[in-house]
Amino acid sequence: MKPDPHPNPKPAPNPKSSSKPFSTPHSPNPHLSISPPSSFFSNIPLLTPSSFIFWNCNALRPRLEYSVPEIANMLATHDPDIVFLSEVRLTCASLHTQSSLSTIDQKSQAEKRLYASSFTTGPFSAYSQVALSLTTKRYAGTACFIKKSLLMTGSVNVSYCLPGTAPTTSSKPAANTPSIASFFGGATKKQKLDPHDPDGRLIMIECETIYIVHVYAPNNGKDQTSFDRRTAWDDKVRGFFKAVQRNGGVWEGKPVLFCGDLNVTPKPLEDLSHPSWFKMQFKSDVPGYSGQPGMTPNEVAAFDKLCCEGNLVDAYRHLHPHSGDACEDITRPLFTWRGTRGADTPEAGRYFRKAMRIDLLLVNKAHVEMIGECEITGEGECNKDPSFCGSDHCPVYCRLE
C-alpha cells in the first residue's frame, strides 16, 4: 500500500512456464534452486512449515543495500521456514520468463549479484529454494524463499496464478518456447510456460498438508481504470475461494491459507489509526470510492463479500479481538503500514504518524484453529523503526499448530 496508487502499466501478454525446478551449476550456493511452476501440483510437495513470514518489502534492492542488519535480526528472531515478499520490484527480461531475474543491462546485472550474495553470506543464506513472479517493469512482483529442511525432494510445487483463473491473451507462446533462466548464471532450460499474473502478484505453493497463496493485491487507486482493475482482481480471488468453500473448505483435500498485502482494511474503525482523517483524503465522483485507497466503502464491501462467500476468517483479528475503539497510538504493533516522515521535518509527511492494517492472513473458518500465532512485528511511529526493516510495511509472523 502506498499513499498514492501505483501507475497502471499497460496489460501485457501472460505466457506460461512450468516444469520441475533445477539447480544451477554456476550458483554460489549449491543448494539454491529456482522453482518454475509445475502444472498444478503433480510433484511431491514440501513438508508443512511450522512458521512463515509475509512482508511487503517496498523494493528488495534497497532493503539488501541498507537494511541487512534489521532483516537478519528479524529472521533470527522468528526463524520462519518460508519467507514471502511482495512489491519486490525486480525485473524479468520478458513476460516469457517471469520466474527469472533480468540481466538486460548493467543495473540488472548488479542487482543479480546483490541477490546472489544475500543467499550465500547474506540474510537469506538459510533458504535454498526460490520462487519468483516478476514483470518487465520495476513494479509489483512477488518472491518466496524456502528452507532446505522443508524439501521432501529437490522440487517445489508452485504456481503463479489461482487454479481456474489463468489469464487469457490474444497472443499465446508456443508450448515449448523459451526458457526460464537460472537465478544466478546463464544456464537456461526449455520448459512449457505456465500463466503468471502480468504484474507478478501471486505465488501459490503446495505443502504436505496445506496450500499457501501469497499475493500483492493491486492498489485501488483513484480513477476508473484502477477501480476496474481492482474489481477484476477481487472477483477472481473471490471466485477461487468460493470454489474452495463449495469443496468443504479445502482445495485438492488441503486447507488454503491466503496471505499478503491485500491492500484493504477489513474494518476501518478498527484497522486505521485515524479513521476520520483517512475518510477525508480523497473525493471521487464514482459512488463508494471516496476516501483513502484501501478503506473506501466499495473495497471494504468487496472484502466482506470475499470473507462471507469464501467462509474466511481474518486470522489476526481472530487471535486479537478488537476493543471496539480506534487507536491513534501507532507505536504499538497494531498496524502493518506506517506513513513516512517528510523530507524537511517529520511532520511535513502527509501520512506521518498515520497507520493502516492491510497485510492480512485469511483462512477458512473450518481450519482457523491451525493458526497458532499471527503477529504484527512492527512498532514505532513511522517506517524508520528497525522493526520495519526499511520498508513502510512490517513483516507479519505466522505460526501453525
> CA-based angle 162:356:360, to the nearest 5?
30
Judge contact between 193 and 18, C-beta under 8 A.
Answer: yes
State the DSSP H helix or E strand holding residue 180, giving kind and residue range, or none if neither.
Answer: strand 179-181
Handedness of CA 56, 60, 62, 65 (dihedral sign): positive
Query: Which candidate, 246, 41, 226, places its Cα nearest to that of 238?
Result: 246
Residue 305: enclosing H or E segment and its boundaries?
helix 297-310
Closest residue by Cα to residue 376 from 315, 293, 309: 315
As a whole number of angstroms, the distance between CA 114 and CA 182 comes to 15
List the catalytic residue out of 78, 196, 274, 393. 393
CA 208 to chain centre: 21
Phi–psi pair at 108, nearest 5 degrees: -65, -40
Residue 274 falls in the annotated catalytic set:
no
CA distance 237 to 221: 18
**Cell, residue 388:** 520495519
Element (H, E) at 363: strand 359-364
User: Measuring CA to CA, which residue among 260, 256, 280, 276 is closest to residue 268?
Assistant: 276
Cα-Cα-Cα-Cα dihedral sign, residues 111, 113, 126, 186: positive
End-to-end CA distance of the chain: 30
Spatial strand order in the sheet of 396-400: 22-23, 33-34, 127-133, 142-147, 82-86, 51-56, 396-400, 371-376
DSSP letters, 157-169, are: -EEBS-TT-----
Cell 488441503, located at residue: 254
**Phi and psi torsions of 360, nearest 5°:** -130, 155
Give catalytic residues, as residue numbers: 393
